[in-house]
Amino acid sequence: MRIEGSVAIVTGGNRGIGEGFVEELLEQGACKVYVGARNPAAVEEMAAWPDDRLVAVELDVTKPDQVAAAAEQCQDVTIVVNNAGAFQMQTLMGAPDLSDARQEMETNYFGMLSMCRAFAPVIEKNGGGAIANVLSAGGIVAVPGMGGYSPSKFAGRAASTCLRAELAPRGIHVAALIVGSVDTRMAAHVDREKSRPRDIGKAGLLAIKHGIDEHDTDPHAIEVRAFLGRDPHTLARSMAAPFNREDKAQEGPR
């Protein structure tokens, strides 16, 4: 698929990885980019603003009415980037209730699925295109410290495989993007080398252009995949280690 001349919508597009996608889409010649944001005014704070190819769209992917309104407004879309995500920084057992886990699943899984269902007819009507789902290395390896985030990304990855099979006959490719550590607000607590959001955008558009089903977008994601391939049992134990020690058992949320 060609990025040049395409029309895209990016959820959570006003900052972080979403903004990186927007910048790359503009750089590679997209003729219009709808920037989905819960607060459309925030789009005007982006580095790429103003650009007459940018259109702000009020969009909270957990609200079906806003997803439906976005699909009605953006009838020329050929690329959907499902980037909007939630990470509540709670463990499954340490959280006071299930509200954070539900919010992560609503955003990272149901919100993504809602966008795919709403925009698939639009993309098909426009001759076909692509959907890129921004997932996580926490979606190929369960990370206890990520609480409900990691399970929601596992669900997103499985859904991407199912959607790919369903939508291929309609001329729509679905790319699952496995993302590691990136320099965003969501990952501010992570103490390791991080990739730039725009690098993730560039890798994601590469997957769209070449029809790659699942793409590791950065060095950290590649490392996790390689470690998983070499010794999955050791990797699983290392991820769970802080929660298996008596001195950590009562720490609760982190």
Q: pLDDT tens, 73-128?
A: 999 999 999 999 999 999 999 999 999 999 999 999 999 999 999 999 999 999 99
Evaluate whether 167 touches 153 at the Cβ level (below 8 Å).
no
Average pLDDT, the chain: 90
pLDDT digits (tens, 9 = 90+) for 172-216: 999 999 999 887 666 556 566 778 999 999 999 999 999 999 999
pTM, 2 dp: 0.89
AA letter at 43: V
What is the structure's pLDDT at 193?
A: 75
Q: Give the full edge-to-edge strand order of the sheet including 129-134.
A: 54-58, 32-37, 7-10, 79-82, 129-134, 172-178, 214-216
How far is it, in rounded angstroms, from Cα 32 to Cα 225? 34
Q: How many residues does the chain have?
A: 254
Please give the class, per CATH, of domain 7-244: alpha beta
**Domain chopping of the chain, boundaries:** 7-244
Evaluate whether 13 touches 51 at the Cβ level (below 8 Å).
no
